[in-house]
């Protein structure tokens, strides 16, 4: 028999904070504000309590937080390139396994002009 520790409120808040940071700080550096607004209106990259139900354990929450931090780190690098493709894609797959939709592949960000950080 094994004991499964559920995710903490702090971890869930961290996940929400990271998603919010991506939407409000990182996405606007690559895409026009109209598209960012559309993403927000359609709730394409927002996390609610229902989605967090899929993040059941401490391990699950750690995986999601790590995936979000990885995506943010890659998108905030000064020289974004395809060398990060495998890591970026793996992070997206981790999010998707917890029913968190990440709407863009790395190539989308590479193709779009980035504003200065």
Q: What is the DSSP string of 49-111?
A: HHHHTT--BHHHHHHHHHHHHHHHHHHTSSS--GGGHHHHHHHHHHHHHTT------HHHHHH
3-state secondary structure of 6: strand
Domain that holds residue 55: 9-110
- Residue 3 covered by a domain: no
Read off the pTM: 0.86
- Residue 100 covered by a domain: yes
Block residue for tokens 């990885």: 70
Chain centroid to Cα 31, Å, comes to: 16
3-state secondary structure of 21: helix
pLDDT single digits (tens) 3-53 = 667 778 899 999 999 998 998 899 888 888 777 777 777 766 667 777 778
Confidence class for position 115, pLDDT limits 50, 70, 90: low
| Count of structural domains within the chain | 1
Backbone region of residue 99 per phi and psi (left: phi > 0; alpha: psi in -120 to 50; beta: other values): left
- Residue 115 covered by a domain: no
3-state secondary structure of 43: coil
- Residue 17 covered by a domain: yes
Confidence class for position 117, pLDDT limits 50, 70, 90: very low
């Amino acid at each position: 028999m094994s004991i499964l520790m559920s995710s903490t409120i702090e971890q869930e808040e961290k996940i929400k904070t990271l998603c919010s940071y991506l939407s409000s700080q990182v996405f606007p550096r690559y895409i026009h504000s109209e598209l960012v607004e559309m993403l927000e209106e359609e709730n394409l990259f927002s996390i609610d309590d229902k989605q967090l139900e899929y993040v059941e354990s401490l391990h699950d929450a750690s995986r999601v937080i790590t995936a979000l931090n990885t995506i943010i780190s890659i998108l905030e690098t000064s020289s974004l390139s395809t060398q990060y493709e495998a890591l970026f894609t793996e992070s997206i797959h981790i999010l998707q396994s917890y029913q968190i939709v990440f709407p863009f592949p790395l190539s989308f960000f590479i193709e779009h002009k980035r504003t200065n950080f």
